[in-house]
């Protein structure tokens, strides 16, 4: 019976298995340089690190054994077409960044550490990045090999005022001497990857220095939005405990149209694999159940329509420039437009409960989407233990 398949999640489980397999992080061509200055070509597990790593795994051949390299063994490593890291001993600014935990001290608090810095600009003057939890730091390496920790710090100036130490602007102005530069170029400079990469690239160009720029598309690509128009066919399943003597009454699975809009916010880290979304979906259904001929007078009916407000997270696996597979999970709360329950034609007052979880899996090709979503069981009629769930097959088109 389809209702039981939906309730147990077997169908969605079967759909998710190949998605999870396809979504495994790949070993991609790259290299590392060890402490003996030997360059080792290999295949590195590309985890598109959000925080700077201290270790990485690799294979010497595509079918070779998986090995681990640590920061004490490796001077630098690169994933071709991805990120590059170099080992450096640098002062790390350790002041808290949470608004409710800011230091009252304007000066930076440094601790010396050996870390992998991400190469952002590689030239006569190089720019490096370091991310730890929610804190992002940048470092400038001059032509002499000196590494300057670029200082930006928020601090609690007064109980009601947050101050900013923007020392990095003066540091860059002093270090980047170019005839085409003036002080005004640095006044509004933001402590961001984009702004710092632009100014360091411009300086190297001013001095005729060749630069290698982090070429990972997701670095400069901003977070972006998708607005989807969706329509689909929804299969509804419901059961009620009308009378403990008769046991649970299962309504026949009923189909209907579901239409809605979805807004997806795609983050620019992890190669755009992660996103948040929110959607509005309208649907309606009418359940009817007549008892067997022995009790022909007994019949149940439930008319229900609602707008589901959903919010959730999504993980994508790209198969090329125009195709991605995705899995999603989240929570929805319906706004009930109609909820009428009848027994033998008589309307029964019932409390309609709200809220349940859901999972989905789908494919996106160019601007077109196909998705299968399963909404888990919830108690929809409190007094009769009315359980409701659904599965939706939908297509969508991106309007943005």
| pLDDT tens profile 91-105 | 999 999 988 889 999
Phi and psi torsions of 357, nearest 5°: -90, 165
Question: What is the spatial distance between Cα 273 and Cα 276, in angstroms, rounded to a whole number?
Answer: 11
Q: Please, how many CA atoms are within 13 Å of residue 12, restricted to the half-sphere of its CB? A: 24
User: Residue 380 pLDDT more than 80?
Assistant: no
Q: What is the model's pLDDT at position 59?
A: 96
Q: What would the two tokens of residue 251 be?
A: 């309504």
CA 317 to each of CA 220, 384, 387, 397: distance values in angstroms, whole numbers, following the listed order: 20, 42, 34, 19
d(CA 152, CA 309): 40
Domain annotation for the chain: domains and CATH numbers? 89-215 (no CATH), 221-398 (2.40.160.20)
Tens of pLDDT along 345-367? 777 776 666 788 999 999 999 99
Residue 10: the pLDDT is 47
> Cβ–Cβ contacts within 10 Å for residue 198, how many?
14
CA distance 161 to 97: 15
Q: What pLDDT score was predicted for residue 286?
A: 85
Contacts of 288 (CB under 8 A, 6+ apart): 251, 252, 299, 300, 301
**Where on the phi/psi map is residue 288: left (φ > 0), alpha (ψ -120 to 50), or beta?**
beta
| Cα 196 from Cα 200, distance rounded (Å) | 6
pTM for the whole thing?
0.63
DSSP 264: E
Residues 389 and 2: their CA atoms lie apart, in Å, by 11
- Please report the DSSP string for 110-169 in residue order: EEEEEEEEEEEEESSSEEEEEEETTEEEEEEE-TTS-EEEE--EEEEEETTEEEEE-HHH
pLDDT class for 288, splitting at 50, 70, 90? confident
pLDDT of 5 reads 46
Residue 181 pLDDT greater than 60, yes or no = yes
List Cβ neighbours of 182 (8 Å cut-off, separation of 6 or more): none
> How many other CB atoms are found less than 10 A from the CB of residue 191?
17
- Name the pairing type of β-strands 135-141 and 147-150: antiparallel
**Cβ atoms of 227 and 262 closer than 8 Å:** yes
Alpha-carbon 359 to chain mean position: 15
End-to-end CA distance of the chain: 40
Q: According to the model, what pLDDT value does residue 125 have?
A: 94
Tokens 């294979």 correspond to what residue? 59
């Amino acid at each position: 019976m389809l209702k039981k398949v939906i309730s147990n999640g077997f169908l969605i489980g079967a759909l998710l298995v190949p998605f999870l397999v396809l979504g495994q992080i790949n070993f991609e061509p790259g290299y590392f340089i060890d402490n003996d200055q030997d360059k080792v070509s290999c295949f590195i597990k590309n985890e598109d690190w959000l925080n700077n790593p201290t270790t990485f795994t690799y294979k010497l051949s595509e079918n070779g054994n998986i090995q681990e390299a640590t920061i004490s063994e490796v001077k630098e490593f690169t994933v071709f077409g991805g990120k590059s890291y170099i080992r450096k001993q640098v002062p790390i600014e350790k002041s808290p960044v949470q608004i409710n935990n800011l230091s009252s001290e304007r000066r930076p608090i440094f601790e010396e550490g050996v870390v992998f810095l991400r190469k952002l600009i590689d030239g006569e003057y190089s720019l490096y990045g370091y991310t730890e939890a929610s804190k992002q730091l940048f470092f400038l390496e001059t032509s002499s090999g000196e590494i300057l920790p670029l200082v930006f710090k928020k601090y609690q100036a007064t109980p009601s005022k947050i101050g900013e130490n923007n020392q990095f602007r003066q540091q860059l102005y002093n270090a980047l001497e170019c005839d085409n530069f003036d002080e005004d170029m640095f006044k509004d400079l933001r402590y961001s990857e984009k702004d710092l990469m632009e100014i360091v690239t411009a300086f190297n160009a001013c001095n005729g220095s060749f630069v290698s720029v982090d070429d990972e598309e997701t670095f400069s690509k901003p977070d972006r939005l998708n607005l989807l128009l969706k329509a689909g066919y929804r299969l509804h399943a419901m059961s009620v405990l009308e009378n403990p003597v008769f046991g649970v009454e299962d309504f026949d699975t009923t189909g209907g149209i579901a239409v809605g809009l979805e807004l997806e916010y795609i983050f620019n880290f992890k190669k755009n694999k992660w996103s948040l979304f929110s959607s509005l979906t309208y649907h309606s259904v009418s359940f009817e159940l007549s008892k067997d001929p022995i009790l022909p007078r007994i019949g149940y009916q439930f008319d229900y329509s609602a707008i589901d407000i959903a919010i959730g997270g999504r993980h994508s696996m790209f198969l090329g420039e125009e195709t991605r597979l995705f899995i999603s999970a989240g929570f929805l709360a319906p706004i009930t437009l109609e909820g009428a329950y009848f027994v033998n034609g008589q309307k029964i007052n019932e409390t309609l409960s709200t809220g349940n979880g859901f999972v989905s899996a789908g494919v996106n090709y160019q601007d077109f989407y196909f998705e299968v979503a399963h909404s888990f069981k919830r108690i929809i009629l409190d007094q009769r233990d009315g359980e409701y769930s659904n599965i939706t097959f939908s297509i969508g088109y991106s309007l943005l």
